[in-house]
Amino acid sequence: MTKRAAFICSLFLYLVCCPFAAAQGYERSLNDGWTFRMENGAAAQAVSFPHTWNAEDAVDDEPGYWRGAGWYERTVRIHDDLSGKKVFVRFEGANQEADLYVNGVHAGNHKGGYTAFVFDVSGLVHAGDNAFRIRVDNSHNDGIPPIGADFTFFGGVYRDVSLLFVPENHISVEHFASDGVYITTPMVAAEKASVQIETHLSIGRPEKKLLLEHVVLDPDGKQVAAVRQTVKKPSAFQIVKAELTVPAPRLWDVDSPELYTVVTRLLDKKGTLADSRRNTFGIRTFRFDPEKGFFLNGRPLKLIGTNRHQDFPGKGNAIPDEMHLRDVRLLKEMGGNFLRISHYPQDPLVSAECDRLGILACMEIPVVNRIGFAPDFTDNCVKMAREMVHQYFNHPSIVAWAYMNEVLLDLSPVESGEVAKEAYYSQVKACAATIDSALREADPSRPTMIPCDSERKKYKECGIGDIPDILAFNVYFGWYYGQFASLSPGLDKLHATFPGKALFISEYGADADARLHSFEPECGDYTCDYALLFHKNYFPVLQEKAYLAGATVWNLNDFHSETRGYAVPHFNCKGITRADRTPKDSYWMYKALLSKAPFLRIGGADWKIRGGQETGGACVQPVEVFATARSVELSLNGKSLGSRAVKDGCAQFDVPFKDGENVLEARGSDGAADLLRVDFRLVPEDLSKFREMSVLMGTRRYFEDRAGGQIWIPEQEYKPGSWGYVGGKRWFRKSGSHLRPAAKADIVGTELDPLFQTQRDSLQSFRADVPDGSYYVYLYLAELSSEEDERVFSVAINETTVLKELNMAAEYGRNTAVIERFPVDIEGGKGLRVDFIPSKGAPVLNAIRILKMK
């Protein structure tokens, strides 16, 4: 047996006999038992971490949300013997500036809301009770990114907090709040791989020598390499480097995410364990090629996945561990292989789960839309970049570090005259160069990336396009601008503008309210169907561009954005799942395209209440089935509707829905199957059987009111013996040079905003030839016009005036929900007639509901 083999054998026996729990360093949670109060004097309340104070006010009808300071207080009882120990408080995240006070003494300050940090409280705590106070401030600060962005800046201690007890001589926790151990694999071949380990030591007690050892375990937990080093007369902060060789490495890959483990141990000169760390890592190679895209372990791989924001309804960004894990699993189940962790570093569990599941990722610091002008802005950016890199260094899933998302999108400092364009561009470029240099210095093994908006000429003129290794672009042809047909040539122009630069599409998507549907989708209607059409047009184009490394959908989930209105106010709804993570049709489309296992889902899986006008005994509506199979057979209430070929992950059927429960069953040729029950509400062709009807005006949309158990159907023009509008035109919102079919304003006083965001303008009447009886007629109204417009009109039902000289803006305010209910008795076979009589401007109606009582 060689000396090296004998050492490895003895070290293995030592590890077995001395379990990892024997290490003197340990961690204790501080998540519970806190009292919280706002600095503005609000009453104190008991809270636990994670916590945010903006979970409710960021989604109410009052514009804005609290951005200020809050205080957390608790007594921390320490029973531990503190002799020979150092004590730290570790925060995984507090947004956005935090100060800690221990027993009345300021322990430290940290700026930046999305990376971890530690405060050394060794000289401040003692055995027994200790008073801890934390001040967190999410006020706007021009020195702390993000300055502005399309997401909510929740305030609070929204990730875990803990006490760390470590020996005076320990593996560093102070080095950017990391594990203090950094692992790279600079040489990878079939027969062996080199593993380089850099360990940062913190020495509080002088020693003549210390021992540092590393043991590498393969994915099965078997030891494959080990090394022990003597550290002579270590200094206060000592860096120790080691190199090992792993034979016949098992590569980390998206389909086989093989994870190795490095156990690092610090021992005193007698060999007594002082401290230890355990880190997983992967052995893989990757590269981004400007012409051929992305390569993993020597083979080309098109990256496809999503972005992700870290929030949830009712919780804000203070979400528990299991929700972070669920999001990554949703992406993996969809078949995605890439996650853009945007626009900031997220909970460590996210990248750890990417490692475990085989999902590649990039991570970025939150410089969004523009830079700040405070003297410390760039320094804070650099600190964030270094914290990000060192805290997430060992994750094999991460293949790029990013910064400055759409940094030239907000040019308000230039447009306001605060700074000349040339000077601003120069500042942006200098800031970018500084951040990029810091990233490369911290981690030479990974490329850097800047995600840009689609106005490529700005980034060329500014010069920041030359700085990173990869340029990413957020493209929205067919949503914010242009047409779907512009996507392919638009991508080619990006490629031509930045030759020799690796390219990635970091965002693409369209807003969709899961409650809204249309069989004639339009840009800006916020229906799931337009979003699905968007993704159907994008996916094949993105796949065919060999020079694109990949693309990520914006976004995995709908997420909080307080300033937004649209169909779901205070949320960006471009997610392919709802904010509660219920998948939309676009998610199922991607799963059908990307899944390697048989899969099938009937479209509109969460659209359980549907409706429409009866024609010939049924209402025929299209239904899509998403499947991996070559063909799909669909049955309705046990009767086959035939088989259809699957194209681009979808098969389409025309389904004759009957009134009441309709059971759809689908089966793919690969054996995958699905069943969907639909409660269909027919408006009878023979109105003598009429019961109720809910109609959206000025739109082609259907709206499912899930809370109220109602389906709202689109308007139609009146014909004798039926129902519908008489006269008028659809209202459209002006958006630059475009006309959009729905308002984007937050409608005050309702959670059913889509009922009020479309309208028929200048209509004369609404008629329904319903039978005699007693009815309730509900008129849904909102003033959507601009401030300079004034509208006054009256309403008569069957020649009786029910609203006289109505001025919605004056009486209720603009963009405010108004519901007027009128009891109506219909006699003599006259049916229902609602007339709109103008006095000033044109009458409008947003929606109408007719309910027969008896």
Name the residue among 838, 852, 842, 678 with its Cα closest to residue 768. 852
Supply the angle between the helices 321-334 and 585-594 in degrees, to the nearest 10: 60
**Helix, strand, coil fractions of the chain, as percent rounded to 5:** 15, 40, 40
Q: Which pLDDT belongs to residue 20?
A: 34
pLDDT in tens, 124-159: 999 999 999 999 999 999 999 999 999 999 999 999
Decide: 208 and 233 in contact? Cβ < 8 Å.
yes
pLDDT in tens, 313-361: 999 999 999 999 999 999 999 999 999 999 999 999 999 999 999 999 9
How far are the Cα atoms of 82, 158, 724, 835 from residue 798, in angstroms, in the given order?
A: 85, 58, 15, 8
Question: Of 64-78, 612-626, 681-695, 728-742, which gets the smallest average pLDDT?
Answer: 728-742
Q: Which pLDDT belongs to residue 23?
A: 43
**Residue type at 136?**
V
Q: How far apart are CA 38 and CA 198, in angstroms?
A: 43
The string over 76-90, giving b where at least 16 C-beta atoms fall within 10 Å of a residue's C-beta and e elsewhere, is: bebeeeeeebbbbbb
The count of other CB atoms within 10 Å of the CB of residue 32 is 11
Q: How far apart are CA 213 and CA 264, in angstroms?
A: 6
Decide: 832 and 770 in contact? Cβ < 8 Å.
yes
Name the residue among 635, 576, 629 with its Cα closest to residue 606. 576
Confidence at 817, pLDDT banded by 50, 70, 90: very high
Phi first, then psi, for residue 776 (nearest 5°) are -110, 135
Question: Is residue 659 scored above 70 in pLDDT?
Answer: yes
Q: How far apart are CA 130 and CA 163, in angstroms?
A: 12
DSSP state of 421: H
What mean pLDDT is predicted for residues 815-830?
96
pLDDT in tens, 34-90: 999 999 877 899 999 999 999 999 999 899 999 999 999 999 999 988 999 999 999
Question: Is residue 208 scored above 50 in pLDDT?
Answer: yes
pLDDT in tens, 454-478: 999 999 999 999 999 999 999 999 9
Q: How far apart are CA 723 and CA 721, in angstroms?
A: 7
DSSP state of 656: E
Q: How far apart are CA 213 and CA 532, in angstroms?
A: 54
Do the bridges between strand 609-613 and strand 673-683 make them parallel or antiparallel, or are there none, so unpaired?
A: parallel
Decide: 713 and 699 in contact? Cβ < 8 Å.
no
Residue 70 CA from chain centroid, whole number: 26
Question: Is residue 729 scored above 60 in pLDDT?
Answer: yes
Q: How far apart are CA 546 and CA 550, in angstroms?
A: 9
Q: How far apart are CA 148 and CA 299, in angstroms?
A: 39
3-state secondary structure of 26: strand
Phi first, then psi, for residue 754 (nearest 5°) are -60, -20
Residues near 210 by Cβ (< 8 Å), separated by ≥ 6? 169, 201, 203, 230, 231, 234, 266, 267, 268, 269, 274
Residue 816 CA from chain centroid, whole number: 29
What mean pLDDT is predicted for residues 503-530?
97
Q: What is the DSSP string of 222-277?
A: -EEEEEEEEEES--SEEEEEEEEEEESPPPB-SSSB--EEEEEEEE-TT--EEEEE
DSSP state of 754: G
Name the residue among 135, 128, 125, 197 with its Cα closest to residue 165. 125
**Residue type at 601?**
R
Decide: 635 and 664 in contact? Cβ < 8 Å.
yes
pLDDT in tens, 699-727: 999 999 999 999 999 999 999 999 999 99
Q: How far apart are CA 452 and CA 403, in angstroms?
A: 10
First to last CA, the chain: 97
Name the residue among 228, 252, 268 with its Cα closest to residue 395. 252
Phi first, then psi, for residue 379 (nearest 5°) are -60, -40
Q: How far apart are CA 808 and CA 792, in angstroms?
A: 8
Which residue in the block uniquely carries the two structure tokens 């899986």? 605
Q: 545 pairs with which residues across the strands? A: none
Report residue 822 as tokens. 């009128």
Using only C-alpha atoms, the chain has a radius of gyration, in whole angstroms, of 31
Name the residue among 460, 462, 456, 471 with its Cα closest to residue 505. 471
Q: How far apart are CA 115 and CA 364, in angstroms?
A: 11
Alpha helices in 717-828 (DSSP H): 808-811
Question: Is residue 392 scored above 70 in pLDDT?
Answer: yes
Q: What is the DSSP string of 581-620?
A: -PBPHHHHHHHHHH-SS--EEESSTT--EEEEE-BTTBEE
Decide: 345 and 324 in contact? Cβ < 8 Å.
no
Q: Which pLDDT belongs to residue 735?
A: 85
Decide: 526 and 571 in contact? Cβ < 8 Å.
no
Residue 850 CA from chain centroid, whole number: 39
Q: Which pLDDT belongs to residue 242?
A: 97
Question: Is residue 555 scored above 80 in pLDDT?
Answer: yes
Supply the angle between the helices 377-391 and 421-442 in degrees, to the nearest 10: 30
Strand order in the sheet with 117-120: 26-29, 161-167, 85-91, 117-120
Strand order in the sheet with 729-730: 729-730, 760-761, 844-845
Question: Is residue 2 scored above 80 in pLDDT?
Answer: no
What does pLDDT average to over the chain? 95
Q: Which pLDDT belongs to residue 19?
A: 32
Give pTM, 2 decimals.
0.94
Q: How far apart are CA 763 and CA 724, in angstroms?
A: 11
Percentage above 90 pLDDT, the chain: 93
Residues near 349 by Cβ (< 8 Å), separated by ≥ 6? 321, 324, 325
Do the bridges between strand 223-232 and strand 237-247 make them parallel or antiparallel, or are there none, so unpaired?
A: unpaired
Report residue 487 as tokens. 């996507």
Q: Which pLDDT belongs to residue 854?
A: 87
Name the residue among 510, 508, 550 with its Cα closest to residue 533. 510
Decide: 180 and 171 in contact? Cβ < 8 Å.
yes
pLDDT in tens, 15-33: 333 333 334 689 999 999 9
How far are the Cα atoms of 122, 135, 606, 623, 711 from residue 517, in angstroms, in the given order?
A: 59, 46, 11, 12, 11
Name the residue among 673, 700, 641 with its Cα closest to residue 516. 700
pLDDT in tens, 105-120: 999 999 999 999 999 9
Supply the angle between the helices 487-497 and 528-544 in degrees, to the nearest 10: 40
